[in-house]
Structure 1
Amino acid sequence: MSVLIRPVRNDDFDRWLPLWDGYNAFYGRHGASALDPAITRVTWQRFLDPAEPMFAGVADVDGALCGLVHFLYHRSTTRIEPVCYLQDLFTAETARGQGMARALVEHVYAHAGAAGVRRVYWQTQAGNAAARVLYDRLAAHAGFIVYAHDV
C-alpha cells in the first residue's frame, strides 16, 4: 500500500465527498441536521481558490482517498504571524489505525511551517477518546473549553 498525503485537486471532488459526508455524520450533521449542499460547494471552491486562506489535504492510497484534513490561516491577537486552525480531520473507518491521521496532521504542520506559521491548533469533542490518544501525542492540550453561538 502506497500512501500519499497531498493537496486536493479539482478532480478529487467525487472521492472527497464521501469522506466529507462521513466526517459530518460523525459529528451529527446528517438527516435533518445535514449541512446545506451550498456550504459543501462553497467550501470545496475555497480549497481550490489561491486567494483563500483555506486548504485541504487528502490521504491518497493508490488513487483511493482514505482521509481528509482541512485547515486555514488567520490573524491572532497574540502573535504577529498568522496561526493555523486545523478545522477538520477524518479517515475512513477501513483506514484507521494505519497512521493516516498522524500523516495528515503532519502535512498541516509542514504546510504551516513553510508558510511561516508557528502555531497549529484544533479542537475535538471531549468524548472523542480514540482521536484524543493521537492528539495527546502530537500536541499539548491547552485546557480550553469552546463556546459557540449562532447569530
Structure 2
Amino acid sequence: MTADSISLARTRALQPEDRQRWDELWPQYLAFYQQTLPQSTTDLTWRRLMEGRELWGFAGLDDAGRMVGFVHYHFHLSTWSPKGYCYLEDLFVDPHSRGRQVGRALIEAVYRAADERGVTRVYWHTENTNARAQILYNQVGYLTEFVQFRRRPSAP
C-alpha cells in the first residue's frame, strides 16, 4: 500500500451537497452494469439516501476532500437473525481513483454501520465477470456457494 492509498481512504455519510457529484458518478455505475433508470427512480433513490430511514450511503473522498466514490446499503429482516442483515447494494469508485483503497474504505464503512446496528451479516453481489472488483471482495469477504435466481419478466 502506498502513501497515496492511505491518504485517499476516507469516507463520510452522503450529504445533500454531494448531489451534483453523485449525479456524475451514478450514471457511470449504471453504465457499467448496462442499465438505465428513469430520472424519477434516480431522484427517489437520492431522496431515500437523504432521509436515512430505508437507504443509507457513504461518500469516498480523495485527499482533497473530493467525492470519488459511493456506497449504498440497507438493512432488512431475516428469519435467521433477530437483528437482520445488511445488503450492500451499490458500490462505485471513479475509474481514475481505483487502486487507492477507496472501495475498501467504503466497504469497511458499511461494516462499521452494520456493527453499530448489530446485524449478523453484510452481503453483496457482483457480476461473475467483474474480476477487478472480486480481487478486493476476496480480501474483505468471501464467496458463498449460493446462486441467485430471479422471477422471469412477465410477457407484455
Tell me, yes or no, whether TM beats 0.5: yes
Q: In the alignment, what sits opposite 2:145?
A: 143
Give CA-to-partner distance per residue, 1:38-89, whole Å, 9 cap, x none: 0000000001114x22101111222321011000000011111121000000
Helix, strand or coil: the match of 1:81?
strand
Who is 1:58 aligned against? Answer: 59
Q: What is the deviation of 1:104?
A: 0.4
Q: Secondary structure at the match of 1:126?
A: coil
Question: Are 1:101 and 2:103 matched, yes or no?
Answer: yes
2:34 aligns with one of 10, 28, 43: 28
Aligned residues between the structures: 146
For 2:23, give the aligned amino acid: L
Distance 1:108 1:116 in 2: 12
Report runs of 4+ in structure 1 exceeding 4 Å deviation: none
Q: Whole-Å Cα distance in 1 between the matches of residues 138 and 13 of structure 2?
A: 25
Mapped pair 1:9 → 2:10: no
Matches within 5 A, 1:79-98: 79-98=81-100
3-state SS of the aligned residue for 2:78? coil
State how far apart, in whole Å, the 2-side matches of 1:17 and 1:106 are.
23
What TM-score, normalized by structure 2, do the two folds share? Answer: 0.88
AA matched with 1:138:
V
> 1:128 aligned to 2:134?
no
Q: Which amino acid aligns with 2:14?
A: V
In structure 1, what residue type is equivalent to 2:54? P
Q: What is the percentage of aligned positions where both structures have the same residue?
A: 35
Distance in 2 of aligned mates of 1:99 and 1:11? 24
| TM-score, length of structure 1 as denominator length | 0.91
Residue ranges of structure 2 left out of the alignment (5+ in a row)? none
Identify the match of residue 49 of structure 2 among 42, 47, 54.
Answer: 47
For the residue of structure 1 that corresponds to 2:56, the secondary structure is strand
Q: 2: CA distance between counterparts of 1:53 and 1:45? A: 10
Aligned-CA RMSD value? 1.3
